[in-house]
Amino acid sequence: MKFRYSKLVTTALVSAGIAQIASADILRGQVTDATGEAPLEGAIVRIEGLDRSTTTDRYGDYRFTNIPAGDYSLSVSYIGAAPVTETVSVVNDTQLDIQLGGDVRYLDNVLVVGSAAAQAGAINQQRASNAIINVIDSDGLGNFPDTTVADSLARVPGLSIETDQGEGRYVSIRGINTDLISASINGVRAPSPEDRRGVLLDGVPSDLLDGIEVQKSLTPDVDADSLGGVINLTTISAFDRDGRFIRAKLEGAYNEISQDLSPKATLTYSDVFGDKLGVAVSLNYQDLRIETHNNEADEWSQLANGDYYLSDGYEHRWYGLNRERMGLVANFDWRLNETTDLYLRTLFNNYEDDEVRNVLQFRDLNDVTDEDDNGDDVVADGSQVTRFTASLPLNEMGAEVRVRREVRQIQTVALGGQSIWGDWEADYELSYAYAEEDDSDNHDATFRYEDIQDDVPENATVDFFKPERPVWSGAAILDAIYDPANYNLDSYEREFTVNEDTEFAGQFNISRDSLIGDTPVTWKAGLKVRDREKIRDVNILIYEDSSINLLNYARDSFIGNWRLGNQQPTWPDPALTRTLRNAFGAGDLDEEGSFFDSNGEDYEIDEQIYAGYVMGTFDLGALTLVPGVRIEQSKIDLRGRVVLEDDLTASVTNFSNDYTNVLPSVNAKYEFSDRLIGRAAYYAAVVRPAFGEMAPFVFINDDRDEAEIGNPNLDALEANNFDLGIEFYPTQLSVLSAGVFYKDISNAIFPATFDIGDVPGNVDLSAIPAEYLNGDDTDGGEVEEVSTFINVGSSEIYGLELNYVQDLGDLAGALQGFLVSANLTLTESEATLPDGRDVRFLKQSDMIWNVALGYDRGPWDLRVSANYRGDYLDELVEANLDRTTDDRLLVEASAKYDVNDNLQIYLEGKNLTDEPEYYYFGDERRLSQYDEFGTTVVFGARLTY
């Protein structure tokens, strides 16, 4: 296929408004497997004589318009099957269905032939797309022992995850953290149950999904509020297959630390009635038991001689969690007639996280130092500090139990349809999305031991030879701190907090197929309205009664299988401290603390986004060009609170903002040959500040010298994104691809602290009472320091992505059944803070790679995989002390065996090398946090009809 530059000139001229339609004849049909039951998505269908091509959708359908009547040769290409060529006579509206390959069978939500077909499905969809995408096919979701959507996405090139208690929770695309990317469910923007924009992806079970698509280069018909890309989760449709489909899945997971068996079950049903109505329902339930062993350090400081020491607090924690997930997908598709399809797509997900956390705290460790005559920190008399140990007096100990029941719900409902008449096509949708996080069944009991030096007047020694597992020594001191009778209640806190995120949206898109000369062009335009409300309502009651002794709330002594340096008590006992919930009187309430904590974080944010776009898809022979522009107008109303720590009043502060962004983009795909494809893309994007960053709140501490404020004047992040890539398909089921990307980002947002005289002009201080800004400290205080959020100037992220997928049987007959996949992403980033310090982007790893080796032949489907994520900057503290998440390598394996055509049994292993999660302050020798989760073994069975 030869690209004629004259076509581009003609296109440019006629794009101004001159277009002639050559013909109205239509050729359409469906591409399936040899049985005719399984549609093939991503097949490339080409009319050879006209040099026209299109791709099949998720139902295997293809469609050409403006075809002159006549006889043609039609070819179909699908990776993993031999190409097919057929002749067709086009007259008026002609239908030609085409079948490829051999017989297939269903093992999961869509067509598969084990792991090979999962790879084929993903490769074909990626090859056919006009944008830069990555796809996880439905059965690909089942090829690995993943529990959550985030776990599955960790295997996609350029993606990494943040974990919580060993499970994937948040996803980063190309070093862009979760607050700066977007996620959707069946195209409906997924809401966030937290006080941020980033979407939790650990609540939605992967078993409910039909597939996942990650779009890394945006087109104008996609919401532009993502710097890294869009993650779209698709659920099942009855028209994904022909006829009735039933699948039941039952499994159990055993973890070596919790020593509990966690059950999970999924039931999926779909059927098509009268070739018109499709009904698909999927139910999922999981009861997961988790136990985590944890060490944490609060703060490190530097001595005058350059040595660092643990200067605040240290604690170890035992977590016992019960995570219950319940999910329901109910989708209805109605083929109203030959031209109109309607649908109703719903998802409901309920996630309950019951947590007990026991903490033993070594508090106020800064007595290791004194100040010398110059005001520098030096080692105090009687204390010792080396690189690996410190000897110091203990001032205070704490024992805490937290009992938390967090209930999260995510719901999406989309009602819409698609209509086709002649050259025109329209789609339309009304959607509702709701998320809630309810923390209304919590209590936190904290006991203190404050007379340690009176009882045991000697130093304790902490050993950091293994920095992630410090060990405390001193026989008399340890005897004292492990005696619950030495602890009295410091505070008892109850929380009743709710976060809500609600969005209503409506959109209408219309497209038309036309010819400009002999160049096929699909014009498309659309409008969308999004109305979002975010509410955070925090309510906390703090009680104090120092006469309550811990001995009465301690039952057992120590955790038996504790993995870390010192013993971990099981007290305070969660069941015993629960009896204190209604035991306090009005005189025990800390009114100031309760009021401050209950009001300072409250906010309401209303956000309306009005969007419109125009775009065209130009079929210029070997070149497919998709230029266009999207315009988004944002209107935001914000309400927050101004709260003083020792006052019992709070004033409401309001703020409004209104701005418009013009966002051009262009995606290009060039077919050098049937096996070699080049891609290039540019798109502009805008991401509005996180809710907790722009909420107009003000905290002023009781000393009146520090203020924490939100910044409603923050500018939205803007980025120019560039991609260039090449894809090579050397054999029947393989792909070798390479790509580079660059992101030029303006207005990146970072937390920052300023002296009051150095606060930037776009940080509004007007909400702070004037008496605390007038420079007169005689009126009860003067704000000296402000912590807030600010925009920084220019930032950049750039990197390289490599991906290789290969059916080894294509290379040598002796390797039939073996599959290999590998990907590598290298990324660099840089942002300059107001103090001139250069840092990399938060949550951005310099290196990510995945390797998987599988065997899929006969009844066996075997796979082993390794996933590596490099370290990343987690939180800014100061130079040499920024909190960093260490690199991590996870190894997993699975074995599946088909007993017959309907029954499969499987065995899976997660975290086989017992890899921990480690965080440190600037240097790996300075502990911040260390977690151990243990290895999990999963066994189960899947029955399909």
- Residue 276 domain flag: no
Q: Tell which of 791, 824, 845 closes a domain.
A: 791
Whole-angstrom distance, CA of residue 515 vs CA of residue 22: 7
Supply the DSSP string of 413-431, one letter for each residue. Answer: EEEEEEEEETTEEEEEEEE
Q: Across the beta sheet with 84-90, what order do the strands follow?
A: 52-55, 44-47, 70-77, 84-90
- b vs e for 539-548, b when ≥16 Cβ sit within 10 Å of the residue's Cβ? bbbbbebeeb
The angle at the Cα of 624, spanning 425 to 27, to the nearest 5 degrees, equals 45
The angle at the Cα of 747, spanning 741 to 753, to the nearest 5 degrees, equals 125
The distance from CA 631 to its chain's CA centroid, rounded to whole angstroms, is 26
Q: Tell which of 69, 102, 135 closes a domain.
A: 102
The low-confidence residues of the chain, meaning pLDDT below 70, are 1-24, 102-117, 138-147, 203, 645-647, 702-704, 774-781
Neighbours of 72 (CB within 10 A): 21
590 conformational bin, left if phi > 0, alpha if psi -120 to 50, beta if neither: beta
Q: What is the structure's pLDDT at 777?
A: 53
Whole-angstrom distance, CA of residue 708 vs CA of residue 692: 12
- Residue 286 domain flag: no
Range of the domain at 63: 25-102
Q: What are 122's two structure tokens?
A: 């993903």
Whole-angstrom distance, CA of residue 40 vs CA of residue 111: 8
Dump pLDDT digits (tens) for 380-439.
Answer: 777 888 878 888 888 899 999 999 999 999 999 999 999 998 899 999 999 999 999 999
Q: List the beta bridge partners of residue 309.
A: 301
Strands 623-644 and 698-700: parallel
- CATH code at position 98: 2.60.40.1120
The angle at the Cα of 58, spanning 52 to 62, to the nearest 5 degrees, equals 25
pTM, full prediction:
0.89
Q: What is the structure's pLDDT at 246?
A: 92
Neighbours of 474 (CB within 10 A): 17
* Contact criterion met (CB below 8 Å) for 209 and 235: yes
What's at 515, amino acid-wise? Answer: L
Supply the DSSP string of 148-181, one letter for each residue. Answer: BHHHHHTTSTTEEEEEETTEEEEEEETTB-GGGS
Whole-angstrom distance, CA of residue 528 vs CA of residue 509: 9
Q: What is the structure's pLDDT at 194?
A: 83
CA distances to 70, 241, 547, 575 from 582, in Å: 84, 56, 16, 14
Q: What is the structure's pLDDT at 813?
A: 87
Q: What is the structure's pLDDT at 138?
A: 65
Q: What is the structure's pLDDT at 704?
A: 62
- Residue 346 domain flag: no
- Residue 758 domain flag: yes
Whole-angstrom distance, CA of residue 808 vs CA of residue 817: 7
For the chain, the maximum distance between any two Cα atoms, rounded to a whole number of angstroms, is 101
Of the CA atoms within 13 Å of residue 77, those in its CB half-sphere come to 18
Cα dihedral: 355, 875, 936, 857 (round 10): 140
Residue 925 exposed, middle or buried by CB count within 10 Å (0-12, 13-18, 19+): middle
Number of structural domains found in the chain: 2
Sign of CA dihedral 386, 387, 391, 394: positive
- Interacting residues of 344 by C-beta distance below 8 A, sequence separation 6+: 331, 332, 413, 414, 415
- Residue 622 domain flag: yes
Note the residue count of the chain: 945
Whole-angstrom distance, CA of residue 462 vs CA of residue 221: 58
Residue 230 exposed, middle or buried by CB count within 10 Å (0-12, 13-18, 19+): buried
- Residue 173 domain flag: no
CA distances to 94, 682, 760 from 497, in Å: 60, 42, 33
Q: What is the structure's pLDDT at 305?
A: 83
Q: Tell which of 775, 791, 807 closes a domain.
A: 791
Residue whose C-alpha is closest to residue 543's, from 578, 487, 493: 493
- Interacting residues of 909 by C-beta distance below 8 A, sequence separation 6+: 145, 892, 893, 894, 935, 936, 937, 938
Dump pLDDT digits (tens) for 346-371.
Answer: 999 999 999 999 999 999 887 777 77
